[in-house]
Homo-oligomer: A and B are copies of this chain.
Amino acid sequence: MLSKKTKYGIKALAFIASREDKKPVQTSEIAKSENISLKFLESILLSLRKSGFLGSKKGKGGGYYLIQEPEKIKMTSVVRVLEGPIAMVPCVSLNYYEKCDDCPDEATCSVHALMIQVRDSTLNVLGGNTLYDLARVKKKAQSD
């Protein structure tokens, strides 16, 4: 299950990316438009800034803006920062590997083999989508 943090974070990034201009977007505007608790969203955007996805501008007229082009931001990296491992089991995670307490040998583990397949197919999907793609879906739907 995707946490709300991740879900809201993705929505917020897509919201910012779907803007034509490059002016900073206020947290309050995103919160209102996407029905997200303001305070909760604040903490999410903060962590997205700290992990290098967003820049910020303080004071009146400030807000958050994308640092990179939307086409360059793969959903794999977004999910990893917000949610953590993409794999469903730590022992098949590329970026957050952890050995299982049970399992003397991973080659003997039936779950391991299966979850590697799941991981790879998920990586394919997330790696094949960028923020640009998400923003396009959003804009397209709105213009209908």
A24 to chain B, nearest CB (A): 20
Report yes or no: B10 in contact with A114, Cβ–Cβ below 8 A. Answer: yes
Report yes or no: A111 in contact with B11, Cβ–Cβ below 8 A. Answer: yes
Report yes or no: B118 in contact with A125, Cβ–Cβ below 8 A. Answer: yes
Report yes or no: B134 in contact with A125, Cβ–Cβ below 8 A. Answer: no
Contacts of A34 in B (CB 8 A): 102
Residue from B11, B117, B118, B125 in contact with A110 in the complex, judged by beta carbons closer than 8 Å: B11
Residue from B10, B88, B102, B111 in contact with A35 in the complex, judged by beta carbons closer than 8 Å: B102
* With contact pairs A102-B36, A118-B122, A121-B124 given, residues A110 and B10 touching in the complex (Cβ less than 8 Å): yes
A106 to chain B, nearest CB (A): 9
Query: With an 8 A cutoff between CB atoms, is A137 at the interface?
Result: yes
Contacts of A103 in B (CB 8 A): 35
